């Protein structure tokens, strides 16, 4: 596929997600924290399509930098209510495209690793606060952040399943069997769960991805 067409599809997809989330927020009264995480997961899943949308990473990286600027402006001026955070110190929406750009640059030639590196951030970090809010009973405090044991367990399970599937199902090298993908997925998920638990100020979008990248970069595939 032509890379410019891939860029167009990606941009339409992302703005479509934002529009859908905003519509649901107004129609069903969902909180902006919920819709922000729904957008977070939806955008992260774009990683699975990147090798089919782009022949090289550069236009995608450029788009990520553009969304960093847009998200920073949104954080400052509140263009998209569906993406707003209840914490004004949280710049997670700005850090997310930065993390995606770095992962694409480093792992472009290894699609299973590229996708796997983004799955703890996509699904683990996306579901943890939702699960914590719905089912959290055992709270713990990190600086000014409040988290729950249930949310952290949700992070681990979601990150593990998504990372394992990425390493196994995504075509490209390394070509892993389901069994061979288990141990790296388990390691990535466990470490990123611990990293997320102690990260503050929205920096988990960077620290989670950095931890996943380091493990996958040096894993003995």
How many angstroms separate the first and last alpha carbons of the chain? 29
pLDDT value at residue 76: 77
DSSP summary character for residue 120: I
Q: Is the pLDDT of residue 221 over 80?
A: yes
Q: Is the pLDDT of residue 126 over 80?
A: yes
**Of 46 and 28, more confident:** 46
Least confidently predicted of 47-56, 136-145, 195-204? 136-145
Convert the pLDDT of each residue in 79-117 to its tens digit.
666 555 555 556 778 899 999 999 999 999 999 999 999
Kindly indicate the confidence band of residue 44, based on its pLDDT and cuts at 50, 70 and 90: very high
pLDDT value at residue 24: 82
Average pLDDT on 166-176 reads 96
| Percentage of residues of the chain with pLDDT beyond 70 | 91
Alpha helix segments (H runs only) across the chain: 3-28, 32-44, 50-53, 58-77, 92-107, 111-119, 125-135, 149-169, 182-198, 204-218
Distance CA 109, CA 220 (A): 17
pLDDT value at residue 137: 82
CB of 217 closer than 8 Å to CB of 106: yes
Q: What is the pTM of this model?
A: 0.91
């Amino acid at each position: 596929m032509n890379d410019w067409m891939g860029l167009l599809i990606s941009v339409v997809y992302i703005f479509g997600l934002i529009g859908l989330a905003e519509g649901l927020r107004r129609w069903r009264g969902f909180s902006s924290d919920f819709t922000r995480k729904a957008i977070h997961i939806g955008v992260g899943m774009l990683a699975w399509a990147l090798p089919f949308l782009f022949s090289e990473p550069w236009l995608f990286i450029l788009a990520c930098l553009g969304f960093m600027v847009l998200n920073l402006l949104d954080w400052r001026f509140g263009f998209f209510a569906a993406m707003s955070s209840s914490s004004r110190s949280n710049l997670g929406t700005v850090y997310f495209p930065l993390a995606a750009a770095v992962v694409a640059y480093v792992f472009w030639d290894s699609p299973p690793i590229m996708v796997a590196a983004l799955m703890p951030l996509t699904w683990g970090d996306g579901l943890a606060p939702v699960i914590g809010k719905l089912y959290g009973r055992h709270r713990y405090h990190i600086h000014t952040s409040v988290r729950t044991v249930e949310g952290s367990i949700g992070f681990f399970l979601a990150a593990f399943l998504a990372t394992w599937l990425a390493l196994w199902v995504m075509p490209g090298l390394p070509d892993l069997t389901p069994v061979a993908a288990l141990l790296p997925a388990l390691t990535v998920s466990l470490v990123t769960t611990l990293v997320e638990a102690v990260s503050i100020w929205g920096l988990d979008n960077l620290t989670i991805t950095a931890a996943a990248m380091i493990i996958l970069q040096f894993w003995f595939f």
